[in-house]
């Protein structure tokens, strides 16, 4: 049986044999239409959403933004996930996680639960919501599939844009209290919250695939450049080649130029 895998990421991805890759934002209509187009009218058995926003450290805000990413993924699920299909998404568990889980229960006939993998640190809010038994889209009748997301109020979530709003408002407190949380794994193996000392004969293996074009690459380059310039300055100072304030001032200006002008290769 031939398996079709469609991968979507906001950043560039290294090619993977047999995987259709789309670089785009799942909250945009254009990206959603690209995903739907690749399925050629067929439906997926599994949708996995491992995306997360740039965290701010403000847990309430991070949880809120992450929940909207999940709602955007569910919007796409309404078009590509088959009946009985499974949906897995990363969540940041917080005070209002029960509401999100209760909303998802309205879309899945099977169990909806939060699971925390063994590899995830206990100090992290990260966990995953696992939803089984997709019941199919209950799309709003007043919207056409081609309706643009931008034509609606910012108060409308991407999920409510497609689904009947009344279904999601009919969530009571008892439903919010019955969501199970599963801690995966046992006490065997490494603890993700512990720092281990490497064996003396440990051989560091290179990564299977380094990031293609990470956003932090320029920061790393500036950091290495600044460390190199600092070493040069300390070496000159040690050898008494810098002996007055004018030389120090000129060298400081040079260091600032080297650190903040990425267009030239000063090394």
Whether residue 90 lies in the annotated active site: yes
Give residue 98's pLDDT. 74
The phi-psi region of residue 57 (left if phi > 0; otherwise alpha if psi is between -120 and 50; otherwise beta) is left
Give residue 138's pLDDT. 54
Of 9, 5, 16, which is closest to residue 209 (Cα–Cα)? 16
Give residue 22's pLDDT. 92
Give residue 161's pLDDT. 47
Give residue 21's pLDDT. 93
Give residue 162's pLDDT. 46
pLDDT in tens, 34-62: 888 888 888 889 999 888 877 777 877 88
Question: Mean pLDDT in the chain?
Answer: 72
Domains of the chain: 5-183 (3.40.50.150), 217-260 (no CATH)
End-to-end CA distance of the chain, in Å? 54
pLDDT in tens, 154-189: 334 444 444 444 554 555 544 454 566 676 766 666
Q: What whole-number distance in Å separates Cα of residue 1 and Cα of residue 171?
A: 40
* Sheet arrangement for strand 126-132: 44-49, 81-92, 126-132, 112-116, 181-183
Catalytic residue from among 90, 116, 165, 257: 90
134 contacts 87 by C-beta, under 8 angstroms? yes
- At 233 the three-state DSSP class reads helix
Of 108, 114, 141, which is closest to residue 126 (Cα–Cα)? 114
């Amino acid at each position: 049986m031939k398996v079709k895998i469609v991968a979507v990421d906001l950043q560039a991805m290294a090619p993977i044999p047999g995987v259709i890759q789309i670089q785009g934002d799942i909250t945009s209509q254009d990206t959603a239409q690209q995903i739907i187009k690749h399925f050629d009218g067929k439906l997926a058995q599994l949708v996995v959403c491992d995306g997360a926003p740039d965290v701010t450290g403000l847990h309430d805000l991070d949880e809120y933004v992450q929940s909207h990413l999940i709602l955007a993924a569910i919007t796409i699920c309404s078009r590509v996930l088959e009946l009985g299909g499974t949906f897995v998404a990363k969540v940041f568990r917080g005070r209002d996680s029960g509401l999100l889980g209760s909303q998802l229960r309205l879309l899945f006939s099977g169990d909806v639960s939060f699971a925390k993998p063994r590899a995830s640190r206990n100090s992290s809010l990260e966990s995953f919501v696992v939803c089984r038994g997709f019941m199919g889209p209950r799309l709003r009748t007043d919207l056409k599939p081609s309706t643009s997301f931008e034509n609606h109020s910012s108060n409308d979530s991407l999920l409510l844009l497609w689904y009947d709003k009344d279904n999601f408002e009919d969530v009571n407190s008892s439903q919010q209290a019955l969501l199970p949380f599963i801690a995966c794994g046992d006490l065997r193996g490494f603890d993700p919250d512990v720092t281990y000392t490497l064996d003396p004969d440990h051989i560091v293996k290179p990564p299977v695939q380094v990031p293609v074009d990470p956003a932090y690459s320029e920061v790393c380059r500036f950091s290495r450049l600044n460390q190199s310039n600092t070493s040069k300055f300390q070496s000159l100072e040690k050898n008494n080649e810098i002996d007055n304030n004018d030389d120090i001032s000129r060298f400081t200006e040079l260091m600032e130029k080297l650190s903040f002008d990425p267009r030239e290769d000063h090394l």
